[in-house]
Amino acid sequence: MRVAVTGGAGFIGSHIVEMLIEQGDDVEVVDNFSTGDPNHVHRQASVVELDVVSKSLEQVFQQFKPEVVIHQAAQVDVPKSLADPLSDGMANVMGTLNVLEAARRSGVRKVVYASSCAVYGEPQSAKISEFHPPEPISLYGASKWLGESYVRLYHRLFQLDYTILRYSNVYGPRQGMKGEGGVVSSFIHNLLAGVPPVIYGDGKQTRDFVYVKDVARANLLAVKWASTQVLNISTGVQTSIETLCDQLISRTDHVLKADYKPARPGDIRHSCLDPFRAEMHLGWEAAYTLAEGLDETIQYARERR
Ligand SMILES: NC(=O)c1ccc[n+]([C@@H]2O[C@H](COP(=O)([O-])OP(=O)(O)OC[C@H]3O[C@@H](n4cnc5c(N)ncnc54)[C@H](O)[C@@H]3O)[C@@H](O)[C@H]2O)c1
């Protein structure tokens, strides 16, 4: 199958590209390399350096003729969305709209959209289901939510099929330190450099960490299944930042202790997504335990040093 992956040079996108190629698909990456790395793109994928906002996107799709577009490209830095809301909105809202319009005009069958737990905002229950009201509390969360709204409208108005995947905090090899799940790569970076990892607040805040290869596999399943569904992609397991830090310290053989700093305003206390519907509609559940994922991530970081 011919699949276009926007943001295919990024952390999650590059793993998706790798898996698609391993299963024999023909893949084209569209990326502006703002955070992505061309060295992370599988050699068999063709690469177009382009902003997803560009008018030329339609021409790129017309030439490649993808059956499916997996849309990962986005501005993913939450503080940056507050500092520069217009460029966040441009990449995430206008970029998504342009991807949808280019897809519609070039006969794409389906768009798989990378959304986020950030669309929920402050959780009203211990485990967030897809029916939780969307009330983003960051501009990034709002721009991902608006992107979702366009995806749904393109189905309603133009019958463009879709699956929306709302990831929890993704971690794994090739992750930068700024994105949503960046705490894992930031802790590992510090520990391997012999610098204490920084915990903001009391460390008792919890997150639902999902390994990048599990997320990539969910995208591949969504290419075929879960038409017009919105699905959480998560483990449903809460891990405190303190526990995460302890696990990483013990795995990196360090005697370092975390450096506690004041909590950052706007940080959500607990965030855990219920993955039940992903299992129901995609037959997907996370295969990696946190321990397995962290081991692979540390090994990758060690090799890179
Ligand atoms: N990492 C997480 O924990 C997480 C959680 C929830 C949702 N997401 C979503 O997953 C997707 C991928 O995130 P990631 O963590 O891999 O981030 P990333 O920054 O590593 O990857 C984003 C990729 O998109 C490219 N890009 C950015 N803006 C672009 C533009 N305007 N035009 C073309 N290319 C552009 C970047 O160069 C990069 O290669 C995003 O849509 C993000 O919102 C990530």
Mind listing the pLDDT tens digit for each residue in 223-274? 999 999 999 999 999 999 999 999 999 999 777 899 999 988 778 899 999 9
Q: How confident is the model at residue 178 (pLDDT cuts 50, 70, 90)?
A: low
**Centroid of ligand 1 to alpha carbon of 62 (angstroms):** 23
pLDDT at 267: 80
In whole angstroms, give the CA distance from residue 144 to residue 179: 14
Atom of ligand 1 nearest to the CA of 176: 20
**Centroid of ligand 1 to alpha carbon of 253 (angstroms):** 32
| Ligand 1 pocket residues where CB is under 6 Å | 7, 9-13, 31-36, 51-53, 72-76, 91, 95, 114, 116, 144, 167, 169-170, 176, 179-181
Give the start-to-end residue ranges of the domains of the chain.
2-170+211-234+275-282, 172-206+238-273+288-304
Q: The whole model's pTM is what?
A: 0.97
Q: How far are the Cα atoms of 88, 117, 221, 269 from residue 132, in angstroms, in the given order?
A: 24, 11, 24, 17
The two structure tokens encoding residue 102: 């280019």
Tens digits of residue pLDDT in 106-122: 999 999 999 999 999 99
In this predicted model, which residue has the larger pLDDT, 281 or 255?
281
Residue with tokens 């302890």: 246
pLDDT at 265: 73
Question: What is the average pLDDT across 59-66?
Answer: 98
Question: What CATH class has 172-206+238-273+288-304?
Answer: alpha beta
- As its CATH architecture, domain 2-170+211-234+275-282 has 3-Layer(aba) Sandwich (3.40)
